[in-house]
Structure 1
Amino acid sequence: MSDKTWRKRALVVAAGVGVSAVVLSGCTSPGGTDSEEAAPEVVDTQIILAETNETTSFNPATPQSNLDINGKLWYATHETFAYINDDMEAVPNESFGTMEKVSDDPLTVQYTLSDTAKWSDGTPVTTDDLLLGWASGSGYFDDATVDEEGTVLSGTQYFTIAGSTSGLSDTEFPEVSEDKKSLTLVYDTPYVDWNLQWLFDQDGNPLPMHIVAEKAGVTTEEFIEAMQSTPRGDPAAPVEPNATIKAVADTWNTAFDVTSLPDDETLYLSNGPFIVDSWEPTQSMTLKINEAYEGERDPAYSTLVFRFVGDSQAQVTALQNGEVDIINPQAGGDTLQLLESIEGIQILTGPQLSYDHVDLSHRGEWADPAVREAFMKIIPRQQIVDTVVKPINPDAEVLNSQTYVTSQTDPYEKTIQTNGSDAYAEVDVEGAKALLAGRTPTARILYNINNPNRVAAFEAIQATATEAGFVVEDIGREDWSAQLESDIYDVSIFGWISPGVGNEDIPQIFASDGGSNFTGVNVPEIDELAAQIQTMTEEADVEEARIKVDQLLFEDYYGLPIFQSPGVEAHTDRISGVTFMANQTGPIWNFWEWTAEDAAAE
């Protein structure tokens, strides 16, 4: 369904950019599984889930691997301290471990691992693994200075992450217990999302330290010793890189990117309910019950299959033919109408915490604000909404904010009154021509050629852009996401989807040093707000900051949001327990609560 995800944002995004919303003050405990309950009887059957994208990595935290499918695979095969339910609440997962705020001044949080947390090779999950996650997510050792395009000019950037280092970057070197069961973080400044650390696939969550170290040619002990003896990085005074930390970081950054199932099983160890069993490239990936798992999220079926089906209509056909059990398509056109004609299925709908958008490069010819403004004037957003979204949601409207979506009613209505979006309510070809003043800039447009909604958006934009004088080059491709950090395009069409909690979309996407700042946007006031928003404890202050960022993005001619994505899920009557999930996890959010008829009934 969605294509890219952002790290801890609050409300939104699906194949494009991200948004954030409310702040969680602490973990709550609705739902979940009673630890005293017996594990469910496992039925020897499979549940097949259709997914738009194909797996590209077993480490979803890097910029090149920040795809929704990689995060979903991580979610099914890994545990952490909590998970997000369909009410956007953080539910503690004490079978993995506990987190406790032990002090407000300074903010101090202790994480304690359970005795049952372990990797599928039998190795316990310890603070060694958490230290690796902290090192990757904090940027603690970095002393790099980078230019507007993200090129390192001096110093060293060790781990490259898709998200922001906000939060973890303000912690001291962690305190670790002798038994390697507890790790304590002390924050230099207050951090509003402290309770969301280590909750998401990109949020400093660890890969197995013993495996990463081995692949890097060092021992776990050597890596920890190197970390303990290396001070916090200072870009103003860069030093020679630590060879051991660099070797581990280089391995973490790239060694887990894959195009087929590796012969080396250690590259896809699991500490969660499922483990990868097989992979047929371009077709499907099969997960089996992880026999080493001792946590509380025990599935009641033996096999989970991701079937890679990019086209939404093809997903509907596969559901109708019984080839898949659950679909979560990038809904468009007649998707809902087709589903309503099928007997024996359940349909779930609702607004997704996601939105589609058009982003503009701030480099080269496009560094000229007049070029970006001219292009924004010719994006036919209403036409795209009418074509793509209204067949599913007749009440759909053009999205006019980069920091809130339409379902966030109150703050959304406030921001669109002041952010300047009204200047782009209608296509203005003549206004674009006036800005270009006879120039004919090249617009290389990147999008996912396997997503019908993106194809429709491209075709609509191509027509009006050409009329205004832009020379449009179609560089749509299957590997579009891997190109977002490249310089092969000037315009990108995609979307972000959010977990529904937290406030990290601003620093991750819109700060000049954000891990997902693909456009090169560099507005000092946004950088200041991105830093401040992480220390705000009042929702009114967060809202004010987000509204200001929204205004600054329009003033900088960042690009335009198009629409909040409609969500459609459907499953056969053979499956029970599926509920609509608006965030990036989709229906898989409670996979351990699903039940299915046995194989004989299939």
Structure 2
Amino acid sequence: MLVDVHGEKEIILKKRAAVAAVVIAAVALAGCTPGSRVAEGSTVTVAVAEAFTSFNAATGFGSAVGTNASVVAATNSSFVSWDENGDPVPDESFGTIVKVSDDPLRVRYTIADGVRWSDGVEVDAADLLLSWAANSRALNTAGFDAEAHLDVQTGMFDDTIPDDVVFFDGFTSNGLDRVTEVPEVSDDGRSLTLTFDEFVADWQLVFSVGLPAHVVADVAGQGSEAGAAGGADAGSLKQSVAQAIATRDATALAPLSRAWTSGFTVAADSDPARFVGSGPYSIAAIGDDGLTLAVNREYQGDHLPQFETIEVRYISDPLQAVASASAGELDVLAPQSSPDVVAAIDASGLASSRVTTGTGEVLQLRLERSANGAVEHPLVRQAFLASVPKDRLIQGADDAGNAVVSRDSFTLFPGQTGYDDAVEATAASRKHLTSRAPAELIAAAAAENPALGAPTICVLFDPANPRRLAQFMAIRDAAAPAGIAVTDCSSPDWRNLLATPDSWDAALFGLRSTSTSVQSATQALCTGAPLNYGRYSSEAVDGILQRFELTDDAADRAGMLADVDEHLWRDAVGLPLFQLTSIVVTSDRIDGVSVAPYAPTVLWNPWEWMPRSSV
């Protein structure tokens, strides 16, 4: 899976004096409930760069912010997660996955006994059924144009979607869209069997529980009274969801789809009770400056945590974050890197180390519904990309204290299997694109359409990121001699604007691989995929990626990705820039904190965090 990120080094800082109540020794654990590891009264404070905006990270809006996926991961369980090396790890304390047959491919997902939501309601097949309906989009109203109802300012869908339309803005680009028939619910109501229309290589990874069915139904107005979701009415709410899906009842599904898509956005005054999860932590409080995660007392799985409370603070200014850590106000953070930030870390005396990340920086062009339109012409795209001073951008990143490696593939990053072969295979196309004279290409475009003789390209980026600003200025200055006017459409809300039509022509951002799933490329490159921010559409690439999803041979997959790269270079869709590393800093009062190359923030495995026993 791919998500966009700031694309900076991630720094984890933990100040010695900042860990509240870590001095509680092992004897204090005796006061916990049976089977718990929680040190009563213990608190750890974490800083993230962006605010928590949605409890549903599977929507286009929710997937735009890495904090969302991290909070959801901390507060929910899944059949499979990823470790720090990017390898899949099953969690059988939550449930099991069994392949029933190969032809057709049938897979049974079963929730383990005793698994409950944080409100005490059992997790069951109704929840699985809702996850299938939402993320396969199999029940969506055919032909509905959702983009016509997208608020370009917020990136959210407005309230003009007709009442009779079923539209789940779910995540489809992982193979679940190959399940078009309603899955089979087991007699005991704990299992769901999916029948795939064709083989999907990553059948173990395409499906898990999302939002609780009874809460979604309650938000949709199907509860008999306020607060019914967690009470005696939960069973009937679940039944209403299962019945609507089983019968494909559009009248009942329409409000459910609106609740699922838009009912779990977050504001400072949001009621935490709405955000019901199944993981080791639950959301206890939400405010303007952050949120509080508390141990979920209903959780009995294998990811039992040790810290009772996690305070998550929103700090976008990296120097402020480092200063707060130095003052003992923070325990864990990952600020943007710059020479000043690195100097501040060094001055603090905190030990640091580097780790490789799955984050690569890209310059993405929007090929449809762009802000000014000129970039949609291939000659203008080619001219603009040929003018980009990539070597200067890489040097600027190095000068800013980042250890980066040039990246010349859209689909693979340095060190991945097949990367070197892909770079070699696309050498001619890359040279053809980047070595042409930009002014000559603009002249050729103007010969076809005089309005393209002086094109404007507006670049979206994060204005709070100093390196982004430096990159923008370098790109702007390099394009000017060719007659290309590069303008600034930066925004603090840049993440949400990535998916918003008519708001930018080019975008500078970081793209993080969140797994080694064979479907990863489809999320960003398939026609209509949720992370296809550039609106790229190619029948040839779609065909390659469709075959890509159906094979489990690593060599074949690498070859297919090289073929995709060739098309992307020829179509001038953008420019991969470089791959990043992270700086990890830890104090001597906490263990277990690490950065995973496929995780959106450091808050990906808080159940492994622990106070050091030596303090």
Smaller-chain TM-score bracket: 0.7 to 0.9
Aligned length: 551
Q: Is 2:361 the counterpart of 1:356?
A: yes
TM-score (structure 1 length as normaliser): 0.85
Structure 1 residues 199-230: Cα deviation after superposition (integer angstroms, max 9, x where no partner): 6xxxxx32010111122133433332222223
CA distance in 2 between partners of 1:41 and 1:287 (Å): 13
Report if the CA contact (8 A) 2:588-2:612 is conserved: no
- Give the corresponding residue for 1:400: 408
Secondary structure of 2:457's aligned partner: strand
1:276 corresponding residue in structure 2: 283
CA distance in 2, matches of 1:89, 1:52: 26
The aligned residue for residue 453 of structure 2 is: 439
1:455 to 469, 483, 492: 469
Task: Give the Å deviation of 1:367.
Answer: 2.1
In the alignment, the residues of structure 2 paired with residue 540 and residue 386 of structure 1 have an alpha-carbon distance, to the nearest angstrom, of 33
Q: What CA deviation, in whole Å up to 9, does each residue of 1:353-393 have, x standing for no partner? A: 11111111213332210111111112222212111245545
In structure 2, the residue matched to 1:26 is: none
Distance 1:51 1:148, change over 3 A: closer
Counterpart CA distance in 2 for 1:148 and 1:256 is 18
With over 3 angstroms needed to count, the CA separation of the structure-2 counterparts of 1:266 and 1:277, relative to structure 1, is closer
SS at 2:565 equivalent: helix
Q: 1:157 to 1:404 in 2, by over 3 A?
A: farther
Instruction: Quote how far apart the aligned CAs of 1:313 are.
Output: 3.0
CA contact (8 A) 1:117 1:125 kept: yes
Describe the shift of the 1:215–1:306 C-alpha distance in structure 2 as closer, same or farther (beyond 3 A): same
How many Å separate the matches in 2 of 1:269 and 1:174? 24
Matched residues in 2 for 1:280 and 1:257: separation?
A: 14
Counterpart residue number, 1:378 = 387
Please, which runs of 5 or more residues in structure 2 have no aligned partner? 8-33, 151-160, 223-236, 447-451
Identity of aligned residues (%): 28
Aligned AA for 2:367?
Answer: H
1:526 aligns to what? 541
SS for the counterpart of 2:291 is strand
2:176 aligned partner? 167
Q: Does 1:255 align with 2:263?
A: yes
Structure 2 equivalent of residue 55 of structure 1: 52
CA distance in 2, matches of 1:557, 1:211: 45
Amino acid aligned to 1:284: G
CA contact 1:51–1:307 (8 Å) conserved in 2:
yes
Q: Partner residue of 2:28?
A: none
Q: Which residue of 2 aligns with 1:191?
A: 200
- Residue 506 of structure 2: which of 491, 507, 513 is its match? 491
Aligned to 1:411: 418
Task: Measure, in 2, the Cα distance between the counterparts of 1:431 and 1:390.
Answer: 33
What's the secondary structure of 2:406's corresponding residue?
coil
Q: Which moved more, 1:563-572 or 1:129-138?
A: 563-572
Aligned AA for 1:277? A
* Aligned partners of 1:529 and 1:549 also within 8 Å: yes
The residue number in structure 2 matching 1:220 is 238
Aligned-partner residue type, residue 44 of structure 2: I
Structure 1 residues 332 and 550: CA distance shift in structure 2, 3 A: farther
CA contact (8 A) 2:382 2:438 kept: no
Contact 1:148–1:520 (CA under 8 A) maintained in structure 2:
no
Deviation at 1:461, TM superposition (A): 1.5
d(CA) in 1 for partners of 2:464 and 2:171? Answer: 23
Q: Indicate whether 1:297 and 2:303 are aligned.
A: yes
Give the Cα separation in 1 of the matches to 2:482 and 2:356. 34
The farther-off stretch of 86-95 and 123-132 is 86-95
Relative distance call for 1:15 and 1:191 in structure 2 (3 A) is farther
Query: Of 366, 379, 382, which residue of structure 1 is paired with 2:375?
Result: 366
Report if aligned partners of 1:348, 1:570 keep a CA contact under 8 Å in 2: yes
Match of 1:119 in 2: 117
- Picking from 593, 598, 604, the partner of 1:583 is 598
Q: Counterpart of 2:258 in 1: which secondary structure?
A: helix
What letter corresponds to residue 228 of structure 1 in structure 2?
Answer: A
Seen in structure 2, the aligned counterparts of structure 1 residues 163 and 177 have a Cα distance that, compared at 3 Å, is closer
Distance 1:541-1:390 versus aligned 2 partners, 3 A rule: farther
Q: Counterpart amino acid of 2:328?
A: G
Greater mean deviation of Cα atoms: 55-64 or 509-518: 509-518
Q: Is the 8 A contact 2:548 2:557 kept in 1?
A: yes
Which secondary structure does the structure 1 equivalent of 2:586 belong to?
Answer: strand
1:144 pairs, out of 124, 137, 142, with 142
* Bigger shift: residues 457-466 or 429-438: 429-438
Q: Distance in 2 between matches of 1:398 and 1:216?
A: 48
Q: Which amino acid in structure 1 is aligned with residue 419 of structure 2? A: Y
Distance in structure 2 (CA, Å) of the matches to 1:575 and 1:427 = 54
Tell me: CA distance 1:504–1:493, structure 2 relative to 1, closer, same or farther (3 Å).
same
Q: Secondary structure at the match of 1:467?
A: helix
Alignment partner for residue 481 of structure 2, among 446, 467, 475? 467
Deviation (angstroms), 1:466: 2.9
In the TM superposition, residue 101 of structure 1 has moved relative to its aligned partner by 1.8
Asked if 1:595 is matched to 2:610, the reply is yes
Unaligned runs of 5+ in 1: 1-7, 17-36, 200-204, 231-240
SS in 2 for 1:46: strand
Q: Which residue of 2 aligns with 1:89?
A: 87
After TM superposition, list the pairs within 5 Å mapping 1:331-346 onto structure 2.
Answer: 331-333=337-339, 335-343=341-349, 345-346=350-351
Superposed CA offset, 1:454-498 (max 9, x none):
222222212222332222331111111221222121111112212
TM-fit CA distance, 1:280 = 2.6
The aligned residue for residue 494 of structure 2 is 480
The SS at the match of 1:134 is helix
Q: Which moved more, 1:138-147 or 1:484-493?
A: 138-147
The residue type equivalent to 2:245 in the other structure is M
- Are the equivalent residues in 1 in contact too, given 2:433–2:570 (CA < 8 A)? no
The one-character-per-residue Cα deviations of 1:32-78 (angstroms, maximum 9, x if unpaired) are xxxxx943242422111221111111111111121110000001111
Paired AA for residue 513 in structure 2: S
Q: Which has the larger radius of gyration?
A: 2
**What SS is found at the alignment partner of 1:285?**
strand
Change in 2 beyond 3 A, CA 1:162/1:114:
closer
After the TM superposition, which of the residue ranges 551-560 and 568-577 deviates more from structure 2?
A: 568-577
Residues in 2 aligned to 1:568 and 1:163: alpha-carbon distance in whole angstroms: 34
The residue type paired with residue 179 of structure 1 is D
Q: Tell me the SS of whatever aligns to 2:354.
A: strand
Residues 270 and 286 in structure 2, CA contact (< 8 A), matched pair in contact too:
no
Task: Write out per-residue CA displacement over residues 331-350 of structure 1, whole angstroms, 9 at most, x where no aligned residue.
Answer: 3445445423332x342312
Shift of 1:544: 1.2
1:220/1:577 CA distance change after superposition, 3 Å: closer
- After superposition, the Cα gap between the structure-2 partners of 1:157 and 1:346, relative to the gap in structure 1 and judged at 3 Å, is farther
Distance 1:194 1:592 in 2: 27
Equivalents in 2 of 1:427, 1:386: separation in Å?
A: 22
Shift of 1:124: 0.5
